[in-house]
Amino acid sequence: GENVEQHPSTLSVQEGDSAVIKCTYSDSASNYFPWYKQELGKRPQLIIDIRSNVGEKKDQRIAVTLNKTAKHFSLHITETQPEDSAVYFCAAGLGGSEKLVFGKGTKLTVNP
């Protein structure tokens, strides 16, 4: 089955800096890669996703890149703000109504 590795487990940056979180996956059939942000005690919220027919996607300060050959994808947050502080999870799956496998999460702290 699918296995998703996520690094780093914790990341601390200064406000205004960029943050990068990386994930690798094992199943070459996976074609849907979402990123979720979860604040303490809250539900995960989708912040961006990418499908295998696209190499990069951007939404304002957030971007995701995908390298299908290497089976890795990354989340990039630019101009970080304190409110970006949260736990971020990557996931991989087949899309549609298929299940997602989640990485272990990255706790991002943005220091003012």
Regarding 97 and contact with other proteins (CB under 8 A), the answer is yes
Q: Under a CB-based contact definition with an 8 Å cutoff, are residues 10 and 20 in contact? A: no
Regarding 34 and contact with other proteins (CB under 8 A), the answer is yes
Choose, by CB under 8 A, the member of 47, 75, 100, 110 that binds other proteins. 100
**CA–CA dist 73, 65 (Å, integer):** 5
Regarding 66 and contact with other proteins (CB under 8 A), the answer is no
Of the pair 20, 32, the CB lying nearest other proteins is at 32
Choose, by CB under 8 A, the member of 39, 46, 58, 61 that binds other proteins. 46
Regarding 61 and contact with other proteins (CB under 8 A), the answer is no
**Least gap, CB of 9 to other proteins (angstroms):** 10
Interface residues with other proteins (CB under 8 A) are 32, 34, 36, 41-46, 49, 89, 93-105
